Structure 1
Amino acid sequence: MAYGGPVTSRPLDPIGEAHRQWSARWPAHADQMAAVTSVMRAQQILLGRVEGVLKPHGLTFAAYEALRLLAFTRAGELPMGKMGERLMVHPASVTNVIGRLERRGLVTRRPSPGDRRIVLAEITPAGRELAETATEALHDAGFGLPDLTAEQAAAITGALRAVRVSAGELGP
């Protein structure tokens, strides 16, 4: 019962109440249920905050990640398949996001000169400028975590890394 103490009547913590109910019925699984539910709710909160920061720039988080990834590369370009791997998304998602960015003049697509079967996505100067502006906005907003210290953010990252390792996404 490590969730965080008794449930108070004000304000009601639905996850705390679920933990209480699970503890009464399935105590061996209560902490895992509360952890998963907490991560899912935190994801909803953070995505809403981050998307709110990016919306004035006409970006979703997925589009921002694609632009930022391209801006980080030396040549400003990557194969679409490599983008999917690095962004940890399905190739169709990369195609969709890059298509929207291309229509806005933020990215171009072209066949790789070394292998015409490979499609390269390349950030344009306008895309690079927008990536920088959006990054500044996210920095100003603390990436949706403005009230957390750097140590708290690092602790969250470490705890979630353990989940990623247990899922086989990373080595130990």
Structure 2
Amino acid sequence: MARPAMPIDPIAEARRQWLAHGWADAVPGMVLVTSVNRAQQLLVAPVESTLRPFALSFARFEVLRLLAFTRDGRMPMGSATARLQVHPTSVTSTVDRLVRDGLVRREKHPTDGRATVLAITDAGRELVERATEALNAQAFADVGLDEADAADLVRIIARLRKRAGDFEDPPELPEPL
């Protein structure tokens, strides 16, 4: 059951308090961080409730979906860690649970004896397809913003991520001869 709306915006009240305490220089950053944190909570709640019946966390779903997107359902663990942009320990812990549940296998890397390859199992592939259908219908199809606002927000966040070093623009291709 949803709780009733608050009579005031708590972030606006926090802004007022920051100003009253003489922290005006930090107000824009505090408001941004607090707003994004609350938005993240609002966006993640339907994802978590949708994945709960599948016994998946979003991290476990992401690993399965990443593997299912590959041509043969396999990827070196290091590549998965880089693409998921999380600490290797987190990926290892997530993969441990997926292996325990029979959704992923660890395999020897064919050319690098130090590396491990992750492989999605048939059960993992079937589960991630069902979970993806549910997420698309119950969490991703309506995030509470119209398409234009969602696209604007994604562009702004992409600029923040790029400045933080998450990615680089692809190099320009030379003109054909």
Worse-superposed segment, 64-73 or 27-36: 27-36
Q: How far apart in 2 are the matches of 1:131 and 1:124?
A: 11
- Say whether residues 1:90 and 2:48 are aligned partners: no
Distance across 1 between alignment mates of 2:62 and 2:9: 32
Report matched runs for 1:36-75 at 5 Å: 36-75=33-72
Task: Indicate yes or no: 2:103 matched with 1:115.
Answer: no
Corresponding letter in the other structure for 1:60 = S
Confirm or deny: 8 A CA contact 2:105 2:121 kept in the other structure.
Answer: yes
Tell me, yes or no, if the aligned pair for 2:47 and 2:139 is still in contact at 8 Å: no
Output the TM-score relative to the length of structure 2. Answer: 0.84
Alignment: residue pair count: 163
Pick closer, same or farther for the CA change 1:147–1:43 going to 2, 3 Å.
closer
Deviations 1:118-167 (A, max 9, x none): 11000011111111111111111233853222222211111111211222
Query: What are the within-5 Å matches in structure 2 for residues 1-172 of structure 1?
Result: 11-24=7-20, 25-143=22-140, 145-171=142-168
Deviation at 1:56, TM superposition (A): 0.5
- Say which SS state the counterpart of residue 141 (structure 1) adopts: helix
Unaligned runs of at least 5 residues, structure 2: 1-5, 170-177
Secondary structure at 1:89 match in 2 = coil
Relative to structure 1, the CA distance from residue 106 to residue 121 in structure 2 (aligned partners, 3 Å threshold; closer, same or farther) is: same
Unaligned runs of 5+ in 1: 1-9
Contact 1:50 1:144 survives alignment (8 Å): no
Q: Are the counterparts in 2 of residues 46 and 144 from structure 1 also a CA contact under 8 Å?
A: no
Return the letter of the residue paired with 1:22: W
State the distance in 1 between where 2:145 and 2:138 align. Answer: 11
Amino acid at match of 1:79: P
CA distance in 1 between counterparts of 2:111 and 2:54 reads: 35
- Deviation per CA, 1:30-57, whole angstroms, max 9, x where unpaired? 2221111111122222222211110100
1:78, distance to aligned residue in structure 2 (A): 0.6
Q: Which residue of 1 aligns with 2:172?
A: none
Deviation of 1:81 after TM superposition, in Å, equals: 1.0
Percent sequence identity over aligned pairs: 48
Residues 57 and 129 of structure 1, relative CA distance in 2, 3 Å threshold:
same
